[in-house]
A and B are shown apart, each in its own frame.
Chain A
Amino acid sequence: MDLTINGTSHTLELPDDIPLLWALRDGLNITSVKYGCGIAQCGACTVHIGGEAVRSCQVALADVWGEITTIEGLGTPDALHAIQTAWIDHQVAQCGYCQSGQIMQAADLLARNPEPSDEDIDAAMSGNLCRCGTYPRIRAAVHAAASALREV
């Protein structure tokens, strides 16, 4: 199976029906993609396929329909994406386990809606569970990232 992840192609020897989540984590050691529920209820496993946020626990490896972007493809510690900068400035993370998924979901929202209202943010991000309750800062960081991205 061939996958393109963050612009790099990879070959994997795994069965067709393994969820993309586990192919990335255990097959390719891309561990920023997190397992939280396995049933599309938490969003910790969110990646982009063809530019769209999807729950990687719900996509069988054989069904991957486009290029995959994980948070590493969005930005790195040395070259942060504006959303990551906002996340750091607002010190959103507590345990941090949900945050890669939150950021990938926020990136999807901001790509479609450059100036989201609180209601838009709630609607787009409520599928991403944060057990630590970082939601007020998630809202603030999405707004900050939106204005930073509009200024670019």
Chain B
Amino acid sequence: MGRVRTIARRSFLIGSAAILGGVAFGAYLVTRPTPNPLLDGLGTGEAALTPFVKITPQGITLIVPRADVGQGIASTQAMLIAEELDIDPATATLDPGQPHRAYFNGTVAADGLSFPGWDEGFVAETVRDLMMNVARLSGSQFTGGSSSTADLHETLRQAGATARETLKAAAMARTGVPRADLRTEDGHVILPDGTRIPYTELAGEAAAIEPVTYVALRPASDWTRLGKPHRRLDVGAKSTGTQNYGVDVALPGMLYATVRANPGRGGGMARYSADAALAMMGVRSVVEVNEGLAVIADNTWFAFQAAAALEVDWLPPDYPASSAEMWQALSDAHTEEFQNSRLREDGDVEAALTGATVIEAEYRTPFLAHAALEPLNATVLVEDDAVTIWTATQIPHVVRDAAAEVTGVDAANVILHALPAGGSFGRRLDHDYVVQAIQIAATMPGTPVKTIWSREEDMTHDFPRPLHMARGRGAVAEGRVLACDLDTISPSLISSWFGRVFIVPPGPDAMLVWGAFDQPYAIPNYRVTGYAAPPMMPIGSWRSPGACSNSFFHESFLSELIHAAGADPLEERLRLIEHADSRRVLEAVGDISNWAGADIGPARGRGLAFSYTHGVPVAEVIDVTMTDQGIRIDEVWIAADCGTVFDPVNAEAQLTGAAIFGLGHAMNCELTYENHAVRQTNFHAFEGMRLHQTPRFHTRLLGLAERVRGLGEPATAPAAPALADAIFAATGERLREMPFSRSVDFA
């Protein structure tokens, strides 16, 4: 019965994906090659041999369309092209390009489906292919879901190879030397006699011939850059204060603005008075924007001061006003009526629990802010027939279309200068701040205006990680986990976020149960049910969405069951998992941490958690000590397998950074609401992790998984449950609610 229901829901989804991917667009469109946006406006002597490589007499530009929000993807994209193109990427110009269908992200669309990443069956793979085409045809250019490397690694290497072979073909046409006898090295084609022709000199000739496509990619054993430690291309600028971010844009005649919006998102304004603000020094004007008002001034400080002086009567939005009411609404949604998915149903949970000693537990995670250190900002110049935007965004295609919609200017005349972001963690998957900046600049045609949110505005108007709760029921027998039934309840992230930036896709919200339904455990009686609570505060994607809460619920509850069974946490997980990649990371983390159980001596404890997110299995072991000042995290061991590692130094940084992100928020952070307003408005009340709480890290990347995946998020999810597990081992207390600082002190 359970199986039938699962399949029925999936076929509904397959049906809708098939309509979008095949029928609606037509087979002709699906198979038609994607145009190359760089071909428009090429000068003489210039070549755009693929959408990713532009060569002019002055130099080589690599198009790196995925947004760098700190995860290092600009550098990785350039390295992937450079490996096949045979150039030193540090000598090339990196350009994110303009939003375009050629830069679509298919992987992120395929990952959003109701199939676990490890399911490589026919149905799962077919629907993934369909979703790839939906993304391709709609031109969705998301950066997110740890998908960039997975999505682009072959495309970019192919781009480098195509450009290289086409340049060789041009050299052949010029010299008569067969292509097979030509070599390439450091931006030059080398003739057998040692003559070196720079690529920049061949560009014009290369542009005139048909590109050489479908070039075989070099095997990993031939790589000179990929897979080896190399210097991330931006660390020099980022260590000398010379990296320019959106906040740093400076243009002649530019004015400065900031926003003051309704603390309750979506509520309106009853009335306002700008008189006091307008009388202040350096203030040019006060204008209405989405959700509130903006001040335009001669510098940012004048704008901040005047925004604080605005007198506004806000109208309340239509969702619950306080955290207590929101928790109640969530709890009330744990009924059949709100059931959204049951994507895992193995064995017969109800039968297994009947007559057994049922173990029950409830877990909660709070709203959390993204709070990237660079506050949200955008600089915009609106002219009669063009809009130019400087900002950091993970959704450039959405920003372009919004600019056209707000100003009435043709989307083709929207120029987007996509800049590196001072962090994002998912926040720049929304574009509310850019739309406001466009509205502001539209009031001053011909004048560029830089709009910066204050930190308080940034915290107050986040689309936070949703509050989330889970209830588990389970049973053990003969030293083993027999049954696990997890109900997980949250507002639907897909409805809230996709509703703002895309369309809400039909079918269940898989993100609501990410990190729970898709775990590779073969528990004999195993069920995961998602409940979508009514919409509240609008919510957003936060590093490892869904899984950042669900993994805490799932792994904590599994730990409770394993403890009740009297089994070893590592042994029992290995017994329950068949998936080879996942087993290997568990074995590896046991290996590097010298695992010998959770007991590591008096006043100390060791915890373990595993999660499979974004196609990457990750296992983490954490040691804690109880000190006079509170609990101290001593060491963290992380093992993961994302397949081939292209950029090992950065990969290690992503593992530790993601774990620190997971730990710091689990320990110290929550957003709470009163009268619809966030109470934590700056870092004094939302610290994340600081240096003195940072443990030692030990990491191992196995590099054995067949599919290449990304690492920006996967180490986030298992961090919190591993810490809770370690605290249990040390203190005997199970922490079932974040932030843990509500229950224990940290040193």
Contact = CB atoms under 8 A, between A and B. Distances in A.
B187 interface: no
Nearest to A103: B239
Nearest to B422: A97
B547 interface: no
Interface in A92-121: 92-100, 103, 121
Contact of A42 (B241, B281, B373, B425): B373
Contacts of B422: 34, 95-98
Interface in A121-135: 121-123, 125-135
B32 interface: no
A19 B305 CA distance: 12
Nearest to B256: A26
A148 interface: no
A41 interface: yes
B71 A96 contact: no
Contacts of A127: 690
B653 A94 contact: yes
A34 B248 CA distance: 9
B309 to A, nearest CB: 15
Interface-central residue, A33, A122, A128, by most chain B CB under 10 Å? A122
A89 to B, nearest CB: 9
A9 to B, nearest CB: 20
Contacts of A93: 232, 234-235, 238-239
Interface residues of B, number: 63
Chain A contact surface mostly: loop
A78 to B, nearest CB: 9
Contacts of B239: 80, 84, 87-88, 92-93, 96, 99, 103
A132 B241 contact: no
B656 to A, nearest CB: 6
A34 B374 contact: yes
B684 A39 contact: yes
A46 to B, nearest CB: 11
Contacts of B424: 95
B683 A129 contact: yes
A130 B424 CA distance: 12
B694 interface: yes
Contacts of B373: 34, 36, 42, 44, 95, 97-98, 129-132
Contacts of B247: 31, 34-35
Interface of B: 69-72, 231-232, 234-245, 247-248, 250, 256, 281, 299-301, 304, 371-375, 420-425, 452, 454-455, 649-650, 653, 656-661, 664, 682-684, 687-692, 694, 696-697
Given A133-B659, A135-B660, 16 more contacts: A31-B241, A32-B242, A33-B241, A35-B452, A35-B455, A36-B375, A38-B454, A77-B236, A88-B231, A88-B236, A91-B649, A91-B653, A97-B245, A129-B688, A131-B425, A133-B658
